[in-house]
Amino acid sequence: MNRQFWLGLLGGLALASVLRQTSKTSLTQSRLDAYYKRRAENYNDTDLQVGLLGRYPRIEMREAVMNLADLKPGDKVLDFACGAGANFPYIMQRIGPTGKLVAVDYSPEMLATAQRVINQHGWTNVELVQSDAATMQPGTDFDVVLCTLGLIVIPRHEQAMQQAWDALKPGGTYAIADICESDLWYARPIGWLLNILDLFIITDSTRRPWEWLAARTENYRRVEVFFGFFYAAVGKKPLVE
Ligand SMILES: C[S@@+](CC[C@H](N)C(=O)[O-])C[C@H]1O[C@@H](n2cnc3c(N)ncnc32)[C@H](O)[C@@H]1O
């Protein structure tokens, strides 16, 4: 190997490490608010815009997490960082008219689009709450708490996870899904791409919220989605803590 190769490799590693650090420090609530204000109107279209070879990874992720969460008719569900309500049709189809959905987001503009989704479907059992998930008080005794594409975004994400934990009833299901840096060897280069993407979509894909979940829950399960580019994970809150 010649000198240029080693210099190139060293430069690449240094750049990757700067990118990883930058994605953490540039993730601020004010940048997020401006970003989601701009994107709110058409945010839910993203599910069908992000596709490769006829596959839609965000939709695969939603289906994976819904299957793991095993929602039932009549369930009371919390969807935090709910955005524009992209999960609502999946949830409402499963919990039906006897269930209850409480959905929390920080962005009033995203919630306005979520309200339009509710109106279009005529659901009367969905409540929207505008709040920082890190301090939300959505109520108690939820059968299922859920967060998709939110835990690499919410600035104080561990506090948000804890608030949702407190709202979950003992024996209830905690379900999360997101983009991630995969541990699969063949997905490593995707991780580097994600570090670059982080800067543009204001995320920190170096976070590993599934480890928080694995440490607290029973029957913990995690599945890789779309070649490890996404994951879905689920666990049950113990009956006695
Ligand atoms: C990538 S979007 C995901 C939306 C939705 N969960 C989905 O799967 O389509 C991230 C959402 O997190 C919300 N968010 C950002 N900071 C938040 C906070 N501190 N508390 C609650 N929601 C927050 C944003 O407003 C945005 O709607």
- pLDDT tens for each residue of 91-111: 999 999 999 999 999 999 999
Task: With beta carbons less than 8 A apart as the criterion, state whether 99 and 90 touch.
Answer: no
**Chain-centre distance of CA 125, in angstroms?**
23
| Least confidently predicted of 63-77, 84-98, 136-150, 186-200 | 186-200
Whether 106 is in the pocket of ligand 1, judged by its Cβ within 6 Å, is: yes
Q: Which residues, other chains included, contact 18 with Cβ-Cβ below 8 Å and sequence gap of 6+?
A: none
Rounded distance between C-alpha atoms, residue 79 and residue 167, angstroms: 11
Residue nearest to atom 17 of ligand 1 (CA): 154
Indicate the Cα dihedral angle 216, 217, 218, 222, nearest 10°.
Answer: -120
CA neighbor of 178 nearest in space, from 131, 118, 228, 130: 228
pLDDT for res 112: 98
Residue 228 banded pLDDT, cuts 50, 70, 90: confident
Rounded distance between C-alpha atoms, residue 94 and residue 173, angstroms: 15
User: pLDDT averaged over the chain?
Assistant: 92
Rounded distance between C-alpha atoms, residue 241 and residue 123, angstroms: 35
CA neighbor of 192 nearest in space, from 26, 20, 50: 20
Task: With beta carbons less than 8 A apart as the criterion, state whether 76 and 125 touch.
Answer: no
**Where do the structural domains in the chain lie, given as residue ranges?**
9-236
pLDDT > 90? residue 187: no
Rounded distance between C-alpha atoms, residue 12 and residue 222, angstroms: 31
| Region 106-130 average pLDDT | 98
Whether 87 is in the pocket of ligand 1, judged by its Cβ within 6 Å, is: yes
- DSSP three-state, residue 199: helix
User: Does pTM surpass 0.75?
Assistant: yes
Question: Under CATH, which number does the domain 9-236 receive?
Answer: 3.40.50.150
Q: Which residues, other chains included, contact 120 with Cβ-Cβ below 8 Å and sequence gap of 6+?
A: none
| Exposed/middle/buried for residue 12 (C-beta within 10 Å: 0-12, 13-18, 19+) | exposed
pLDDT for res 227: 87
26-66 confidence digits (pLDDT tens): 789 999 999 999 999 999 999 999 888 899 999 999 999 99
Rounded distance between C-alpha atoms, residue 40 and residue 126, angstroms: 19
* Exposed e or buried b per residue across 146-185, where buried means at least 16 C-beta atoms within 10 angstroms of its C-beta: bbbbbbbbbbebeebbebbbebbeeebbbbbbbbbbbeee
| Region 168-179 average pLDDT | 97
Mutate to test the pocket of ligand 1, among 29, 32, 176 (most ligand atoms within 8 A of CB): 32
Residue nearest to atom 8 of ligand 1 (CA): 148
Dist. CA 154 → ligand 1 center (Å): 7
Query: From start to end of the chain, where are the E strands?
Result: 76-80, 100-105, 126-130, 142-148, 168-179, 218-225, 230-236
Whether 110 is in the pocket of ligand 1, judged by its Cβ within 6 Å, is: yes
